[in-house]
Structure formats: structure tokens, C-alpha cells
Structure 1
Amino acid sequence: MKKMLLHELHPAVVHAPLALLPTATAADMIAVLSGDRAWAKVGRRLWVAGTASALFSGLAGLAASQEVKLDQPRARDMVFLHGLGNAVITVGAVGVTLWRLRHPPSLGQSLIGVVANALAVYTATLGGKMVYELGVGINSMPPDAAVGTLKGPPLLSRAAPVALVRDAVQGVRWLFGRARELFTGRHPLAPGANGIDEGHDLPASVPSELVAQDSWVAATERPGI
């Protein structure tokens, strides 16, 4: 039986916040509309559980971003948008949870939860596209493919805890670095990275050092400019 690898932890645990946070929002909304304090107590507990699971899932996701092969610009930027969106959602969940520990639910706070969960649907969709359309993190991808996995340590190995923390720190640095490149206009998003626009995929045989530059160059260079 194949051992579970460290980068596979994120897709294994991400379903917890995806289920708990919408349920917490629904419980708060019911409490606001009905005035039932029991629902308010349920919502508060669900916010705590959902936020804790989101923090752990985010840690695993940051580590996974450094443990998969991302030589294809579209795949790399899709991972970036997925991670950035989930980071915003998690920070928002932490804020709502801290507020809910001291206050009853309100209509405004519940609506913020609805918006955050709508964003989570989008980031989850990107996660699905990364795997099922582009092959990010798939162990059986050909060695010369632009995406796949870097074969991190087994999840239950002694090396896994150290690798989890180390790669998560590297993932944070990469996320901030890519955001800086994007917001300063140095490297725009690769075509199709948002999961909405049509992208283009390069042949797997293209050298990775060329693949790493082609999309943002093509996006910035136009005839006559």
C-alpha cells in the first residue's frame, strides 16, 4: 500500500473548514432571525472549530505549495490565487471568531460570513482545477511534465513535522513574494490562472527555465508597444 505523502495532507483536511465555517454562518443567521440563544451558542462553537481547522489546513496548504511541481506558470499562479484567497478567508474567520467569543451574532457579521463562504467556493473551485485539469500534486504525472509532485516525505515519517514547518514558512515567503510581483506590475498573472479566462498549456517537453517566464512575458509584450 502506498504511503500518504506530506503534500497530500492539505486535500485530506481541507474539507473540515469547508463544512464547519458555512455551518457556523448558518447557525448565526438562524440565531439572528429567531433570537434563539441556543443557536448562538452552537454558532460560536462552530466558529472556533472551523477557524482552528482552517488554520491547520492553511498550514498544510502552504507546505504543499512547496512540495508540488509548478513549472507551468498557469498552475503556479492558480496555486497562488488559491492560497491568497484562503489566507484572506482564514484571517477573516479568526477575526469573526474573536468577535463572537465576546458578542452575540449580528446580521452584519453573518453577512460577512456569507461573503467569506462564497469566496471559499471560488478558491475550492481553483483547488479542483489545479488537480483535475492541470495535474498539480498528482504522483503519477510523467517526470518531464511541468506539474506533478516533488515527492515529499511520507506523512507519518520522522521527517514530516520538520518538513511541514519548513515548507510552510517557505510557502508564506513565496506567497508574499508573488503578491509583491503582482501588485508592483512586475509579473502579471499567467493567462487562465483565475480559473475563468481561457488559458494555454505548454508542452511538457519545454524546459522549466523557459516555462517559468513565457506567460508573463507574453502578457506584457504586445505588437507595437
Structure 2
Amino acid sequence: MKRKMLLHELHPSVVHLPLALLPTAAVADLIVVTTGDRAWEKVGRRLWVAGAASAVFAGVAGLAASQEVRMDSPRARGMTVLHGMGNALITLGALGLMAWRLARTPTPVTTALGLGACAFSLCTAALGGKMVYEQGVGINTMPEDAPQGTLKGPPLLSPEAPVALVKDAGRGAAWLLERARALL
């Protein structure tokens, strides 16, 4: 039986792009700052663009996925809020560093910020793994009475998927902001 990829499966499929590209961009900047090798400036600049763009895409996919899964347990919901807010901060930082790098060379401060954001991303990535492997968020198939799991979203390449992606990402952003507001 041939199984089609579902919309909520897009996030775990693309999240590895920013997790690889952003640290590579930060290391390219570190090479420029520590060695003065200007050849790495253009490499770093391009990696910041690709990394930030992939972080935005992974974030939109994550917001949509948050609306395609069931999370009845407070622990799973809390983990999802921390995961989403942490990644939103990392993505905003990546966009800021990208904007800086489009116009300027890396500095020790911007390089340290980039490396720090990459270290922080390891925490949010580990939290995402715990959500899946410890809490069962997004796991197929599951009993109807399970507190976490997956709702049946559209197949990724179906005509319904683009509309569901945009709609669910908007609902996911609203959900995340409401939860963050409640925490503050």
C-alpha cells in the first residue's frame, strides 16, 4: 500500500535545513573573524540567506503542524509552546543576522550571536524530539482515545494542502501567541 505524506509531516521533513545551514553560516563568519579570510564572507552571506529562508519555511510548516496534531495533555502543549516560541526567536535572530550580513562583514559580536542562537537551537530541537518520542505528538496511527497524536490532514501534494498549510499556519501562530500571552 502506497502512503502519501501528510501536511503535518512537512515540518519534520524540512526542519533539518535550518539546523544545518545556520550553524554553517555562523562557522563561516567565525572563519572570517578569526582568520581574516575574506573568501568566506560571500559564503557566509549566502548561507545566512538560505538558512534564514529555510527557518521561515520550517516555522510556517511547524505552525501548520501544530494545528494538525492532537495535544490533550498540558505537558505536550507546554512543550509545544516552548518549542514554537524558542524557534520563533531563533528565526527572528537569523533574519536579523541575515539582514546585517547582506550589508556588512561579520563582527565578533554578530558571530557570537549566531553561534549562541545555534546552541539554543539544539535545545529547541531536543524539545521537538521529546515531543515526538516521549509524548507521541504527531505519531501515526494512534487510538482515538490517545491524548496526543495526529489528526488526519490532507496529503502534502493534494490540491487541499496549500490552503490547509496557510490556514493552519495562521491558526498555529494565533494559538502560539495566545499561549505565550497567557504565560506572560
TM-score, normalization by structure 2: 0.98
Q: Distance in 2 between matches of 1:58 and 1:154?
A: 19
The equivalences for 1:11-160 within 5 A come to 11-160=12-161
Larger RCO (alpha carbons 8 Å, 6+ apart): 2
- Structure richer in helix, relative to its length: 2
Residue identity in the other structure for 1:92: G
What SS is found at the alignment partner of 2:149?
strand
SS of equivalent residue, structure 2 residue 39:
helix
**1:151-200 Cα deviation digits (max 9, x unpaired):** 111101000000000000001101110011111xxxxxxxxxxxxxxxxx
Are the equivalent residues in 2 in contact too, given 1:139–1:151 (CA < 8 A)? no
CA contact under 8 A between 1:32 and 1:106: conserved in structure 2?
A: yes
Aligned residue identity for 1:107: P
Moved segments of 4+, more than 4 Å: none
Gaps of 5+ in 1: 184-225
CA distance in structure 2 between the aligned counterparts of 1:21 and 1:90, rounded to whole angstroms: 10
Q: What one-letter code is carried by the residue in structure 2 that aligns with 1:164?
A: L
1:166 aligns with 2:178: no
Letter in 2 for 1:152: G
Give the Cα–Cα distance (whole angstroms) in 1 for the partners of residues 8 and 31 of structure 2: 37
* Aligned match of 2:178: 177
The alpha carbon displacement at 1:141 in A equals 1.8
SS at match of 2:67: coil
Any idea what SS the aligned residue of 2:109 has?
A: helix
For these two proteins, the number of residue pairs brought into alignment is: 183
Deviation of the 1:25 alpha carbon:
0.2
Q: CA deviation at 1:139?
A: 1.1
CA contact (8 A) 1:63 1:167 kept: yes
Bigger radius of gyration among the two: 1
* 3-state SS of paired residue (1:66): helix
Matched residue SS, 1:44: helix
The one-letter code matched in structure 1 to 2:8 is H
The amino acid of 1:103's aligned partner reads R
Identical aligned pairs, as a percentage?
Answer: 66
- Residue aligning to 2:8: 7
Counterpart Cα distance in 1 of 2:108 and 2:59: 27
In 2, Cα distance between the equivalents of 1:11 and 1:171? 16
So what's the TM-score if we normalise by structure 1? 0.81
Q: Which amino acid is the alignment partner of residue 69 of structure 1? A: R
Give the superposition deviation at 1:140: 1.4
